[in-house]
Each structure stands twice: as C-alpha cells, then as structure tokens.
Structure 1
Amino acid sequence: MIIGGTSRPVYLAVGATDLRKSIDSLAALVHSTFHLDPCSAALFVFCNRERNKLKILEWADHGFWLHYFRLERGHLAWPMTATTSPQAITLRQLQWLLDGLSLEQPAAYQALRHRHVL
C-alpha cells in the first residue's frame, strides 16, 4: 500500500457504493452524507455491491488521490448494513480488510502505547 502513517483516521462507507463515482462525487458524498471534511488527513474507503472492489479517497496537500483495489477472487469482509454515518476503523483494520480478514481479529495483539521508557 502506498498510504503511509500509523495514526490517520479511516472511515468506511458502510454498505455498497456505486464505484462509477470518481473523486468529485466521492468527496461530495463525504461532505454531504457523512458531514466530514474530505480535505482532512483521513482516508475514506468505499466498496461496491459485489464486495470485490474498493476505492480510497485521500487528500494530499494540493489534491486528491483515488486509490483503486480489485480483488481477483473472493469477497472482502465488508460491513454491508448501510448507514448514513461512516464506520471509523484503524489503518491496521483496513489492512486486515485488504488481506481478506474481518475487522474483528480477536487473536491479534493489542497495540501498546507506553508513556515512559524504562
């Protein structure tokens, strides 16, 4: 993945999105439906009805990136209950989705954040 960083917000557009939409339409969807700023540091992830394609909208200082992912076999473990609010996930959970796993990985180690170095 070319998306860097470890603490960026990620928002899933739960349910199916018409992936014929391009940058302007997806940015308008983020603004009008989710009431979020598409020009923020967040990643906005959209999936098609067949759950085999994703688009990720990303703002990069002077313009948008639109990442496109097509799964050759199988389906993504995408939450399909459509809502008008996005589901916030971590970059780690996004990587799980792209790897064919569900958002909930009970066996995964929890991230540790230490305040002091011993």
Structure 2
Amino acid sequence: MIVAGARQPILIAKPVDFRCGHQALALMVQTELKLDPHSGVTVIFRSKRGDRLKILVWDGTGMVLTYKVLEHGSFAWPKVQDGVMRLSRAQAEALFEGLDWRRTVARRVAAPTAAG
C-alpha cells in the first residue's frame, strides 16, 4: 500500500462520486477539508456501497491515485465525526486489506534493560 512518510491518512466520511479522478479529488481535499493535497497527506475516499476505496497521495513527483474494489463484502468503515477521521498507518493498511481496522491495537513495549 502506498502511504507517504509518517503522515496520518484521513478518511472522508461522506461517500464520493467514484467517477472523480485525481484532480477532482485533490480539489475536494483543498476546498472541503482545507488541506493542501500536495503536502504529502494521504486521503482515503469511500464509495457509496462501501466496497470500493480510492487513496490519493502526493509522492513528491506527482499525484498517486490507488483504487481498490473488494470482490466480496465491504470495507469496515469507521463512524466519523466532523467529516474526517485520522487512522494510524496500521489501521489504514488493515482497512486496505479488507480487515476490520478497529481490531488493530498498538502495544507499548518496554525498552530492554540490557543488550542481550
């Protein structure tokens, strides 16, 4: 999955028209989310049926648009407040794989006290 740097993906709550290409989606990021689509931010868009997604990201040389359709079922879409929701990289990758991203939990690991 293409995810630029350490930026957090943003999920748009409302479904978008999947006939939109990269320019129209970048314009939505700019006008509706008030974000710079060329900043490296990764934006995940969903279809009305919830079985398709588009990922838009600027990789430093051009706009990358990834499109995925699940053959069976639909993606586990989160409930979103204020129009967008931030996902961790692990959650976004689980979503992209068709897994339930809500089951992805980060674990804190204590640093070892000595090299072994």
Q: Please report the TM-score for the alignment, with normalisation by the length of structure 1.
A: 0.81
Q: Which residue identity lines up with residue 107 of structure 2 in the other structure?
A: Q
Structure 2: unaligned runs, 5 residues or longer: none
State the shift of 1:34 in Å: 0.4
Structure 2 counterparts to residues 1-118 of structure 1, below 5 A: 1=1, 3-4=2-3, 7-79=6-78, 85-105=83-103, 108-110=105-107, 112=109
* 3-state SS in 1 of match to 2:101: coil
- Which structure would you say has the larger Rg? 2
**Aligned-pair RMSD on alpha carbons?**
2.6
Structure 1 runs of 4+ with >4 Å offset? 111-114
Structure 1: unaligned runs, 5 residues or longer: none
Deviates more, 1:97-106 or 1:38-47: 97-106
Structure 1 residues 112 and 23 mapped into 2: Cα distance closer, same or farther (>3 Å)? Answer: farther
Q: Which residue identity lines up with residue 34 of structure 1 in the other structure?
A: L
Identity %: 28
Matches of 2:5 and 2:109, distance apart in 1: 13
* 3-state SS in 1 of match to 2:44: strand
Q: Which residue identity lines up with residue 38 of structure 1 in the other structure?
A: P
Deviations for 1:34-74, whole angstroms, at most 9, x for unmatched residues? Answer: 01110011111101011111110110212101111111110
* 3-state SS in 2 of match to 1:104: helix
* Mapped contact 2:4–2:41 kept (Cα < 8 A): no
State the shift of 1:100 in Å: 2.5
Structure 1 residues 67 and 117 mapped into 2: Cα distance closer, same or farther (>3 Å)? Answer: farther
Size of the alignment, in residue pairs? 114
* 3-state SS in 2 of match to 1:12: strand
State the shift of 1:84 in Å: 5.5
Matches of 1:117 and 1:29, distance apart in 2: 51
* Mapped contact 2:41–2:57 kept (Cα < 8 A): yes
